[in-house]
Structure 1
Amino acid sequence: MAISPSRVFAALLPTAEDIYRNENEPGMGGHTVTVQRTQNSAREVQVTGSAEVSCPADRATVSVSFKNSKESVNDVTNSISRRVEYILQTLRQHHVKGEELTVTRHIYRADDLYHMEALVMVVFSDFGQMERVCIVLLEKLDKSVCVSTPHFYHSEECLSLLRRSVCVAAVENARLKASEMSSMLGQTLGHPLLVREEEATERDGGREGGEGRMGEGVHRPSISATSRVFVTFNLRHKDRTRKKI
Structure 2
Amino acid sequence: MFILVLLTVFIGTITWWLILAWLGFQKNIIGVIRGYAISSLAKYIPGFVWQYASRSVFLETYNIPIKTIAFAIGVEFILVTSLGGILSCLSYLVYGHQLIELLLGYKILISILLFLLVLLILFLPRLITLAANDQDRIKNIRNKKLYIYAVSVNFSGWLLMSWAFLFLSKSVGINNFNYSISLFLHSTNFFISNVFLFIPNGLVIREAIIVYLAKALVNQHMLILTSLLMRTLIFIAEVFLTLTLLLLPIKDPTRKNK
Q: Same fold (TM over 0.5)?
A: no
Alignment TM-score, normalising by the size of structure 1: 0.23
* Greater helix proportion: 2
Q: Which has the higher contact order (CA 8 A, sep 6+)?
A: 2
Alignment TM-score, normalising by the size of structure 2: 0.23
Structure with the greater alpha carbon radius of gyration: 1
